[in-house]
Structure 1
Amino acid sequence: MGDSLSAGYGMSASEGWVSLLQQRLQRDAPGWRVVNASISGETSAGGASRIAKAVVREQPDIVIIALGANDGLRGLPLADARRNLARMIGASQHVGARVLLVGMRMPPNLGADYTRGFEDNYRLLAKTFETALLPFLLEPIASDRANFQDDNLHPTAAVQPQLLDHVWPALQPLLR
């Protein structure tokens, strides 16, 4: 469950890190199936409204929740984002799924308190719900402008393997 960063915005569906994950799983951990329920523009509220039906329908063993970037860009109150993500984690765990919470960081334009609180939301939720946490999806590519499309928000197709390599160590223990 993600936003445009996981939906593969600006590239063919097969080039995004989630599609690359399916390919890696077929090679390294056969038997796993990936359902990419990511939607460009998705917020944590949208994910929270979709999660119950999705997990009941799919009965997943693992749910990767990679939402929040659009919340931060819109200045959503931190408590609202935290509540929405908590709903998603709770619904996933309710059907027996293990959760990998994938965090995001915000630029400082909304102030240091918001930026710090935004990042802290992910740590707090991971601790509260005892989920796996990858603190920042874009960590390996964030510092180089060349890794992003012209909008300076969405990674290029060329760096999608790096994103997968970054997610993989956090996901791999959940596959056991």
Structure 2
Amino acid sequence: MTIPAHEPSPENDAVTSQDPEMHVYSTASYESFQRQHVGTVEAEDIDVWFTEWQVAEDGLNVELDERVRWDLVPMDQDWVARLFAGRRTVPLQLDTYADAGCEASDLAKRTLVAGRVARIDQVSVRYEMSTGPVVRGLVPLTGGAMQHSVLSLRQLRAHHGTVVGWIVRVRT
């Protein structure tokens, strides 16, 4: 529920009169209902990206409060920027195909993370037709990622658009 920043008045709000002596003021907010504070990232928290098609293909599941130990690779920051437009950062990802075609020097870029799953956010986007010369076809709406807190990767919540992944917060 949004609490108005001003006192109700006929000038600012819709007025419904049920009785000449009584006025009911309705106040509404146009703020998106998907907006949700994901909490402060503590020094010991690490956000990890899981790509939807890899979760589906490999049958992966992660649950809230689960103890985990993962070997992670750097997250594609261009993808994060397209999804969140600076609203959220995700430094690492679990990529089940990271070993395909990797060289010995790539192993130095790995990060071992162990801890407890403190939060899971389902991420969905809407797509639009690209008008740029480099990318053709459907692309995620820049900055349009929506997040919904879930208890596991297998528990989908109602959402707009297409689920593209999850952000799992690990408390180390």
Task: Pick the TM interval, shorter chain.
Answer: under 0.3
TM-score by length of 2: 0.25
TM-score by length of 1: 0.25
Structure with bigger helix share is 1
Structure with bigger strand share is 2
